[in-house]
Amino acid sequence: MFKFARTLGCIAFGLLFTRLCLAGTFVFTAIPDEDETRLKARFDQVATYLSKTLAVDVRYVPVKSYAAAVAAFRSDQVQLAWFGGLSGVQARRLVPNSQAIAQGEEDQSFKTYFIAHSSTGLKASPTLPKKIADLSFTFGSKGSTSGRLMPEFYLRKQFARSPEVLFKQVGFSGNHSRTLALVQAGAYQVGALNYKVWDNELKAGRIDSSKVSVIWETPTYPDYQWSIRGDVDAIWGEGFTAKVTEALLNMKDPALLAAFPRSAFVPASNSDYKPILNTARTIGIID
Amino acid sequence: MNAKSYPLPTSVVTSLLFIASALLCWIFADLSIVTRTPWQEFFRMAAGVFSPQWLPWPELLSALAKTLAFGLLAVALSALVGFLLCLYFHKRGVKLFCASIRAVHELFWGLLFIQLLGLHPAAGLLAIAIPYSGIFAKVFAEIIEESETESASSLPPASDKVSQFFYEKWPRIKAHFASYTLYRLECGLRSSTVLGFIGLPTLGFHLESGFMQGNYGLVTAMLIMLYVLIASIRVWARFRLMPLYAGVAAFYLWAPLNIDSTLVLSLVHDMSPLPLRNTQTEWWPWFSNLSSTQIFPGALNTLLITQIALVLTGVFSLISFPLLSKQFFPRPTRSLSHLLMVMLRSTPEIILAFVFLLLWGPSMLPAVLALAIHNGAITSHLLARHSNELELRLDASRGINRYLYEVLPRIYGQFLAFLCYRWEVIMRETAIVGILGIHTLGFYIDSAFESFRLDVAVLLIAVSALMNICVDEVARRTRRRLHLVKQPLVRAC
C-alpha cells in the first residue's frame, strides 16, 4: 500500500513538474470553423514551426466555440488567436492594446454565399431574390462573420426587416458544413455560408447541384485574422509582437498553410476591421 | 403493493391532466413536417455507422481517460458535498439553495465557468459537480426521511447527534447511498461527454467535431466508446474504490490555476445588469424589451416542448418497457432490448434531434421526439425493473391481457411517479435542443454567451432556474396527491 502511495506521489510530482515547465509557454488557439478533423495534429505542426522561429515554447490548445476562444484570449490562457472577423473584434474590445497582426491572403476580400434548395425554384441572381421571404432559413454559428453577421446585415439592408420577421423559420445550424447538409437535405430551404467551405465541398464532390445551388453572393469584406494580446512584449521581451508577425508572414510551407486553409498571410491592422465593427453595431450584436 | 394504495380516479385524473396540457400545447406548438431530400445525408450517416473511424490510440485513450476522470471526480465530489448538505436539508434556505443549483443545466454552468476560468479543467469539474451536489442532497435527504419512519430509535435517549447518526441511521442508509452514488456515475459519464460539446477534452469533443463536419465514422466510433463505457460501469464501479478512483482522477486532471483578480472583477461587472453599469440605460425599457423578445417567448417555447415531450416520454416507456421485462419476454430478447435502450439513453439528445431535423425539417417536432426517446428509454428501464419485482400467479394470463390487466394496473402509480421525476429533467434538457435553433430559453442563453452579454445570460439562467423550481414543486404535490411519497426511490439522471 505504501509503495502504491509512493508511486502515485511520483506520478503527481511528474505531472506537476511538466505543468510548471509549461508556464512560460506561448499559447495560441484557432476558432473551430474549417475542417475540424485532425485539427490538433495540423495545428501542432504550426506550433512546432512557431517554436523554432520564435525560440520559445509554443503550444496549441483546441476550442469548441467562438465564445470559448474569446474567453481564453481574454483570460490570458492564449496570447495569440486565429479569429474570425467578428470574434476578433469582440476579443480585441475585451483585451486592451491587443492587435490584429496578419490575415489570410483570401481574407482581404472574403464573401458569403446564399444557397437554396432546388424545390424553391430560386436561381442565381445579381440581387437577393424577393421570393426568399417566408421561406425557412438557416445561419451557421451565432458568432460567425460569414455565417451570421454579414448575411444578416445584407438581409436587413435589402428587406429592412429582421430575419425573424422576414422568414418563416430561422435556424442556427452550428457551422458551415451543417448549413450545407441541412439545405441540401431540404430541411431548411435557404442558408448562408462561408464561400471557401462551399468551394472545398464542391471540389470534394459532396455537393449535388441538382439539389442545392448558390443564389447570391455578398460583396466582399475582411474576415479571419491573427490577433495578439497587448502585453506579450512585456513578458517575452521587446519586439516580440513584431517577431510573431514576421513568423506568420513568412510561413510559406503549404502543409502549414493548409491548416487554415489559406494560400499566404499578409499584414493586417485593427483599422482593417472597422467595417465589421460597424456592421455588428448596426445589427445589434455589439452594443 | 395492492390497488388500494393508489385510488384509481386520482391517477386517471392526473394522467388526463397531463394529456390535456400536452394537447393544449400541441395547438400552439409548431410541429409541421417538411420532407424533401434527406436521403443523401442519411446514406452518408449509414456509411459512417458501418465504417467507424477510430482516432489514433493516444488521442482515443486520452479522450476516454478524461471522460472517466471528469465523471468520477465530479460524482465523488458532489456525493461528498451532497452528503454534507443533506444533513441540513430540513432548513428552508438549504433546500432552496439546492433546488436552485440543480435547476441550472450543466451546460450553462459550463459556459459560465469557461468565462471565469477559461479552458481550465476546474471549469468542467465544477459544471458537473455543482448541479449534482444539489441532486445528491435532495436524494440523500429523501433516503434519510424514508429510513426514519421505518423504526424507532434503539439508542439511549441521551446519546448525542453524531452517535445517533452513525450508530443508528448510517448502517441502514449506507447501502442506499452507495447504490445511488454508483447509479449517478452513469449520469456523470454522460455529462462529462456532453460537456465535450463546449470544449472539455472528453469523448464529446471528438463526437462534436465529427458530427459538425459530417464525419459520421468518427461519430460512430465515439458513440461506441461511450456505450462501452456506460455498459461496463457495473464491472468496475465499486463504492469502496470511489475515493481511490477520485484521487487518481484528481492527479490526472490537476493543473495550476491562476485567477486574475482584475479579470474576475471585470466579469462581475459584465454580469451585473446593463442599467446598473450604464446610466444611460433605463431599467424598465431594458427589462421590458428583454421580456418581450427573449424571456417570454423562450419560457413559452420551453414549456410547450416540455409538456408534449413529457407525455410522449410516457407513451414511449409504456410501449417499450415489456421488451425489457421478464414478465413478457425471454432473456435473449431482453438482453437485445437492453442494449438498444442503453444506446437510446446514452446518445446525446442533440444528435437524435439533428437526425429528426434532417428528416422532418425545422419545427419543434425534432426536439420533442429527441427528448421523448432519450427520457423514455430511461423510464422504460426503470419501469421494467419495477415490473420484474411483481409476483404474478402461475396461471396469470399472457400477452396483451397480462399487460393490460395484470401488470399495468400494478405499476401505473409508479409510472406516474417516474414521470413526475422526469418532468423537471426534461425541462432542464430543453436547454440542449435550444442550441439547435429552437427558441427555448436555452437558445437565448447560448446567444447571450456568444455575444458576450453576460448580464442577459445570468438573468435568463435565473428565469430558467425559477421555472424548474416551479415544475419541481408541482411534481412534488402531484406525487403527494397520488400517495406516492413513500415509494421506492427513483434512480435516474
Strand A80-83 relative to strand A26-30, pairing: parallel
Q: Which of residues 208-267 of B touch A (CB under 8 A)?
A: 208-210, 212-215, 218, 247-248, 251-252, 254-256, 260, 263
Q: Which of residues 165-204 of A touch B (CB under 8 A)?
A: 169-175, 177-178, 181-182, 184-188
CA distance A8 to chain B (A): 8
Give the residue from B211, B226, B259 where a domain finishes: B259
Most confident of A31-45, A154-168, B33-47, B159-173: A154-168
Nearest to B213 by CA among A195, A206, A37, A113: A37
* Cβ–Cβ gap A184/B41 under 8 Å: yes
Query: Does residue B203 share a domain with residue B139?
Result: yes
Query: Does residue B167 share a domain with residue B136?
Result: yes
Q: Which residues of A touch B452 (CB under 8 A)?
A: 67, 70, 90, 94
What ipTM score was computed for the predicted complex, to two decimals? 0.84
State the cell numbers at B249: 482522477
| Closest residue to B357, CB basis, from A71, A175, A187 | A187
* CATH T-level topology, domain A2-107+222-282: D-Maltodextrin-Binding Protein; domain 2 (3.40.190)
CA distance B237 to chain A (A): 20
In the chain, the amino acid numbered B81 is: V
pLDDT digits (tens, 9 = 90+) for A207-252: 999 999 999 999 999 999 999 999 999 999 999 999 999 999 999 9
Q: Which residues contact A13 (CB under 8 A, 6 or more apart)?
A: none
Does residue B297 sit at the A interface (CB-CB below 8 Å)?
A: no
| pLDDT tens series, chain B, 493 aa | 454 555 556 788 888 999 999 999 988 888 888 877 888 888 999 999 999 989 888 889 999 999 999 999 999 999 999 999 998 998 999 988 998 898 889 989 999 998 888 888 999 999 999 999 999 998 898 888 877 755 556 677 777 777 777 887 788 888 888 888 988 999 999 999 999 988 889 999 999 888 888 889 999 999 999 999 998 988 898 888 999 999 999 999 998 887 778 888 888 888 889 888 888 888 999 999 999 999 999 999 999 999 999 999 999 999 999 999 999 999 999 999 989 998 998 888 888 888 888 888 888 899 999 999 999 999 999 899 889 988 888 888 888 999 999 999 899 988 998 898 899 889 988 877 775 667 899 999 989 998 889 999 999 999 999 999 999 889 888 888 877 655 445 555 6
Instruction: Classify residue B269: in a domain, yes or no.
Output: no
State the cell numbers at A200: 472545398
Query: Does residue B341 share a domain with residue B223?
Result: no
Count how many pairs of residues, chain A against chain B, have C-beta atoms within 8 Å. 146
Position B258 scores a pLDDT of: 75
Question: Mean pLDDT across chain A, nearest whole number?
Answer: 88
Give the residue from B259, B286, B302 where a domain finishes: B259
Query: Does residue B251 share a domain with residue B171?
Result: yes
Chain A residue whose CA is closest to B195: A64
Q: What is the CATH number of the domain that holds B184?
A: 1.10.3720.10
CA distance A169 to chain B (A): 7
Q: For the structural domain made of A111-217, what CATH number should be given? A: 3.40.190.10
As for how many domains chain B has, the answer is 2
Cβ-contact B439, B376 below 8 angstroms: no
Q: Which residues of B touch A72 (CB under 8 A)?
A: 118-119
Position B394 scores a pLDDT of: 84
Q: Which residues of A touch B358 (CB under 8 A)?
A: 181-182, 185, 187
Query: Does residue B411 share a domain with residue B348?
Result: yes
Does residue B199 sit at the A interface (CB-CB below 8 Å)?
A: yes
Query: Does residue B101 share a domain with residue B17?
Result: no
Instruction: Classify residue B39: in a domain, yes or no.
Output: no
State the cell numbers at A233: 512584449
Instruction: Classify residue B103: in a domain, yes or no.
Output: yes
Q: Give how far Cα B32 sits from Cα of A135, A170, B363, Å.
A: 14, 15, 6
Does residue B120 sit at the A interface (CB-CB below 8 Å)?
A: yes
* Segment B243-248 long-range contacts (CB within 8 Å, at least 24 positions apart): B243/B76, B245/B72, B245/B76, B246/B72, B246/B73, B246/B76, B246/B77, B247/A8, B248/A8, B248/B69
Q: Which residues of B touch A35 (CB under 8 A)?
A: 213
Q: Which residue is listed with cell 430541411?
A: A187
Give the residue from B234, B259, B284 where a domain finishes: B259
* Cβ–Cβ gap B362/A76 under 8 Å: no
pLDDT digits (tens, 9 = 90+) for A76-93: 989 999 999 999 999 999
Q: Which residues of B250-264 are buried (b: 16+ CB within 10 A; e: fewer)?
A: bbbbeeeeeeeeebe
pLDDT reading at A117 higher than 90: yes
Every domain of chain A and the residues it spans: 2-107+222-282, 111-217
Query: Does residue B220 share a domain with residue B130?
Result: yes
Chain B residue whose CA is closest to A136: B362
Vertex B238: Cα angle to B233 and B243 (nearest 5): 115
Position A19 scores a pLDDT of: 41
Tell me the C-alpha distance between B380 and B164, whole Å.
Answer: 39
Is there a shared CATH topology between the A2-107+222-282 domain and the A111-217 domain? yes
Position A238 scores a pLDDT of: 92
Domain that holds residue B426: 1-30+274-493
Instruction: Classify residue B266: in a domain, yes or no.
Output: no
DSSP category for residue B402: I
* Cβ–Cβ gap A186/B37 under 8 Å: yes
Query: Does residue B441 share a domain with residue B334?
Result: yes
Does residue B361 sit at the A interface (CB-CB below 8 Å)?
A: yes
Position B166 scores a pLDDT of: 80
Query: Does residue B225 share a domain with residue B288?
Result: no
Instruction: Classify residue B297: in a domain, yes or no.
Output: yes
